[in-house]
C-alpha cells in the first residue's frame, strides 16, 4: 500500500505558479502582497497569515 503525502499549501502555490508561468512579482500582485513576501514564503522564511492562506487557496482552487 502506497501512502501519498498531501502537498502543503506553499508547495501547491509554487507548483501553481510554475505551471501557469507566473513570476513571483505577478503572483504577489494577484495576492495583494509585496514580491519579497512571496519569496519569503517559497523559501520557508515566513508563513502566510490566515487571510493570505484563504487568498492562496482561493487562487489555487480557481474560485
* Structural domains of the chain, ranges and CATH numbers in brackets: 9-60 (1.10.260.40)
Q: What is the pTM of this model?
A: 0.85
Check: CB of residue 38 under 8 Å from CB of residue 27: yes
pLDDT in tens, 14-48: 999 999 999 999 999 999 999 999 999 999 999 99
DSSP for 1-63 reads -PPPPPPPHHHHHHHHHHHTT--HHHHHHHHTS-HHHHHHHHTTSS---HHHHHHHHHHHTT-
Find the helix packing angle between 24-31 and 35-42, rounded to 10°.
110
Torsion of CA 17, 22, 25, 27, to 10 degrees: -50
pLDDT value at 4 more than 50: no
Amino acid at each position: 500500500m502506497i501512502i501519498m503525502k498531501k502537498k502543503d499549501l506553499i508547495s501547491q502555490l509554487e507548483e501553481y505558479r510554475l505551471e501557469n508561468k507566473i513570476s513571483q512579482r505577478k503572483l504577489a500582485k494577484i495576492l495583494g502582497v509585496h514580491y519579497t513576501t512571496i519569496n519569503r514564503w517559497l523559501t520557508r522564511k515566513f508563513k502566510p497569515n490566515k487571510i493570505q492562506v484563504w487568498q492562496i487557496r482561493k487562487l489555487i482552487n480557481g474560485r
